[in-house]
Chain A
Amino acid sequence: MANIGIDIGSQNTKVAILEDRKILALAKVPTGFDQQVSVKKAIKLGLDKAGIGMPDSAQIRVTGIGRKAVPDISTNEINETMSAAKGAFFYFPSARVVIDAGAENVTVMKVNEQMRVLDFATNDKCAAGAGSFVESMTKALGTTIDDFAKSALQRTEKININAQCVIFAESEVVSLVHSGASRADISGAIHEAIADRISALVRRVGLEKDVVVMGGMANNVGFIDALEKALDVNVLVATDPEYACAIGAAL
């Protein structure tokens, strides 16, 4: 019997359809303003991909920051730290620290071997550690997220982004461009700033191996490289990191 996990994030709504812990389909659509509509779209996309019909509503579970917005689709909800822990364990049962870095929210959790969340820390009212930060810097530099992330690995000179706020960081980036800094160095500095913010959250819950990174930011090679340097450990990244919470909800 298939189960559907839905993760309603601030930017994308992700759906994971699983049967006996096997992924049948993964799908995502932009969340937009109307979560009901985007959830329906994402479910349809997933079901089409999986080639199955709509299961019973009891088999649908919702998580993420928009989870309260769709009570007529699923009354079953699971909070985002629990779904993240389950998603991380699905890929890596050795996970002890889980970093879920999405577009607006970053949550760092400490979990035990029974998958229980022992402690967690979030970025609160600051987006400087999240994906939207990278996105806005990418826009300021007129490039794509992928190119921007890769260019961080080509960094030759160490420069710092001092501002902690997306808006101020953007004007700092513009000043760096005008002062002749290379895109690679600026990208390196931005990813380092993000990694510093997130590693501070990791230290708040306590660094322990293995560290698993999930959420859209886990696809960003520049960020992963900077995070490994900031934490001084190798981190584990799932195959489809942005779906990990949806998978956790489906389990």
Chain B
Amino acid sequence: MTEVKKYPEEPLKTWNKAKELRLKYFTSYAKAHETGGLRFCGSAGSLNSIQQAFGRDVFILGSEPYSAHAAFFSDFARKCQEACESRGIAHDLCGYMKNYWGGILINQFILPTHEIVPWPKADVMWTQHICCTHAKWYQYAGELEGGVPEFGIDFNCRIGHTMTDRDIDYVLEQVLEGIEWVEKVTGRKFDDELFIEASLNELAANSAWGQAYEYNQNIPAPIDEKSLYSFFPFNILCPQWAETSALFRELRDELKDRVDRGIAAVGNERFRILTDGPPQWAMLQVYRYMEKVYGAVTLGSTYTAYWGTGWDVAEDGSLIAAKIPTREEFAQLNREARLRKYIAWKLSKQEAYSVTFTGCHPRKSALMLKIMELWKLDGAIIHLNRGCEGSAMGVLENRLDIIKAGYPVLTYEGNMGDVRDFDYAGTIRKIENFFENLGLEKLIKGG
């Protein structure tokens, strides 16, 4: 048995608040009609503040995080997947989309408490297109739900820090048209004051997430990736809620305090890992296995670092939590200029859309390598994700680029939405081979 330095550990205090917020989020969507509210649904992070500007009682479902949450309950997800397949839907389509469509087909929606309620039919589909699946996802979902009006916004692949004015205009024009469209289909007016309030919350949340995330550059890391998974979806689910920015600020302060006091997420930390896109949600215990048996802690990913987070990218590629506009800066503008500023911030600060979901592998590799350098990581684990063509595109090239830079990389196969595509025992064997070949002995005999 190998002796390793044992750092002190403490449970995260903000953890329970995240749990409460998650329950509130899903429950308020499911119950929106009870109070006369409206349900908007679409790809997560589809410019939420614009949707919120149609009323405080608009509840927005980000369908990928919902489907990820459903995947966590593997028996439930299996039922959704099988419902799709028995309807003739191909096995290899997006794993999240099938959890979503499957929920409609079996008329079941799962809450974080494991309570199953009838499927809450959306009133409006408002979505972005970041991969070729999205348009079909909501078109077909709308059909299955008996006809739901849909509006899709196409994001172009240059978003991120290389975005140009033309790219912003391209999205802005669609948004302006979309606002008119929503006014027509809902009979509600776009409320500029509400938009200002929501968007300032949203940008503050996205920026605070970046500030919190930066603390994981510390050795030992104050938070692990499994815990980051529980917090980061709020960046795209309900960033426009004041509770989200408050939660992220509290998390940031807690992480700072943990860093100051040398508190580790994993006391055994001795090998620091980066991962990439969505994991195998129903099998997060593989992370626990790596921690317990090898002291190998996964503490960041392109997913949690980039999706929804506001980063400024410095000349040398370093990432700094983005600055946010003040209320005055927003309030003094007219609607169009304000929307433009909001869109520009959202799209230019969020590399994930462009690099994680469009297979732009040189940029994604560069970003992965930058995190590896800044976050002082020792290796990477890449998910060959059969469930998401968006995030799986180019990952083998990323692997080669990371190996070329001198880091070891392990790949494993799975499907974020569907545990049937995952081989737990085989993955554990690979993990053992990987770490032992690197010379890391087991900390626990037998493993």
Minimum distance in angstroms from A115 CB to a CB of chain B: 11
- Which residues in chain A, 104-121, are within 8 Å of chain B measured between CB atoms? 116-121
- B433 touches which of A75, A81, A118, A124 (Cβ 8 Å): A81
- Majority SS of interface residues in chain B? helix
- A79 touches which of B411, B413, B436 (Cβ 8 Å): B436
Contact of B436 with A124 in the complex, beta carbons under 8 Å: no
Please measure, in the bound complex, the distance between the C-alpha atom of A118 and the C-alpha atom of B421, giving whole angstroms.
27
Minimum distance in angstroms from A20 CB to a CB of chain B: 26
Minimum distance in angstroms from B401 CB to a CB of chain A: 14
Contact of B429 with A80 in the complex, beta carbons under 8 Å: yes
Contact of B426 with A81 in the complex, beta carbons under 8 Å: no
Contact of B433 with A117 in the complex, beta carbons under 8 Å: yes
Give the residues in chain B near A117, CB-CB below 8 Å: 433, 437
Minimum distance in angstroms from A249 CB to a CB of chain B: 13
> Is B423 part of the binding interface, using a Cβ–Cβ cutoff of 8 Å?
yes
> Is B146 part of the binding interface, using a Cβ–Cβ cutoff of 8 Å?
no
Please measure, in the bound complex, the distance between the C-alpha atom of A120 and the C-alpha atom of B423, giving whole angstroms.
17
Contact of A120 with B413 in the complex, beta carbons under 8 Å: no
Give the residues in chain A near B412, CB-CB below 8 Å: 124
Minimum distance in angstroms from A205 CB to a CB of chain B: 9
> Is B446 part of the binding interface, using a Cβ–Cβ cutoff of 8 Å?
yes
Known contacts A79-B432, A119-B403; is A125 also within 8 Å of B413 by CB? yes
> Is A25 part of the binding interface, using a Cβ–Cβ cutoff of 8 Å?
no
Give the residues in chain A near B430, CB-CB below 8 Å: 122
Minimum distance in angstroms from B20 CB to a CB of chain A: 38
Minimum distance in angstroms from A108 CB to a CB of chain B: 12
> Is B396 part of the binding interface, using a Cβ–Cβ cutoff of 8 Å?
yes
Closest to A116 in B: B437
Closest to B435 in A: A79
Q: Mark B362-392, 1 if CB is under 8 A from A, else 0.
A: 0000000000000000000000100000000
Contact of B437 with A120 in the complex, beta carbons under 8 Å: yes
Minimum distance in angstroms from B410 CB to a CB of chain A: 9
Contact of A125 with B437 in the complex, beta carbons under 8 Å: no
Task: Bin the interface of chain A by size.
Answer: 10 to 19
Contact of A124 with B437 in the complex, beta carbons under 8 Å: no
Closest to B429 in A: A65
Q: Mark B426-447, 1 if CB is under 8 A from A, else 0.
A: 1001101110110000000110
Give the residues in chain A near B396, CB-CB below 8 Å: 204
- A124 touches which of B423, B432, B445 (Cβ 8 Å): B423
Give the residues in chain B near A80, CB-CB below 8 Å: 429, 433
Give the residues in chain B near A125, CB-CB below 8 Å: 413, 421, 423, 426
Give the residues in chain B near A124, CB-CB below 8 Å: 384, 412-413, 423, 426
Closest to A64 in B: B429
Known contacts A80-B433, A124-B413, A125-B426; is A71 also within 8 Å of B421 by CB? no
> Is A24 part of the binding interface, using a Cβ–Cβ cutoff of 8 Å?
no
Give the residues in chain B near A75, CB-CB below 8 Å: 445-446
- Which residues in chain B, 187-231, are within 8 Å of chain A measured between CB atoms? none
Closest to A122 in B: B430
Contact of A71 with B446 in the complex, beta carbons under 8 Å: yes
Contact of B437 with A82 in the complex, beta carbons under 8 Å: yes
Please measure, in the bound complex, the distance between the C-alpha atom of A98 and the C-alpha atom of B413, giving whole angstroms.
22
Minimum distance in angstroms from B436 CB to a CB of chain A: 5
Give the residues in chain A near B384, CB-CB below 8 Å: 124
Closest to A121 in B: B411
Please measure, in the bound complex, the distance between the C-alpha atom of A217 and the C-alpha atom of B57, giving whole angstroms.
64
- B436 touches which of A65, A82, A121, A204 (Cβ 8 Å): A82
Closest to B425 in A: A65
Give the residues in chain B near A68, CB-CB below 8 Å: 446
Please measure, in the bound complex, the distance between the C-alpha atom of A121 and the C-alpha atom of B408, giving whole angstroms.
12
Give the residues in chain A near B403, CB-CB below 8 Å: 119
Q: Which 5 A-B pairs have the closest CB atoms?
A: A117-B437, A124-B413, A81-B433, A79-B433, A79-B436
Which residues on A are within 8 Å of B, measured CB to CB?
65, 68, 71, 75, 79-82, 116-122, 124-125, 204
A-B pairs with beta carbons under 8 Å apart, 26 shown: A71-B446, A75-B445, A75-B446, A79-B432, A79-B437, A80-B429, A80-B433, A81-B433, A81-B437, A82-B433, A82-B436, A116-B437, A117-B437, A118-B437, A119-B403, A119-B408, A119-B409, A120-B433, A120-B434, A120-B437, A122-B426, A124-B384, A124-B423, A124-B426, A125-B423, A125-B426
Which residues on B are within 8 Å of A, measured CB to CB?
384, 396, 403, 408-409, 411-413, 421, 423, 426, 429-430, 432-434, 436-437, 445-446
13 further A-B contacts with Cβ under 8 Å, apart from A68-B446, A82-B436, are A65-B429, A75-B446, A79-B429, A79-B433, A79-B436, A119-B408, A120-B434, A121-B411, A122-B426, A122-B430, A124-B384, A124-B423, A125-B423
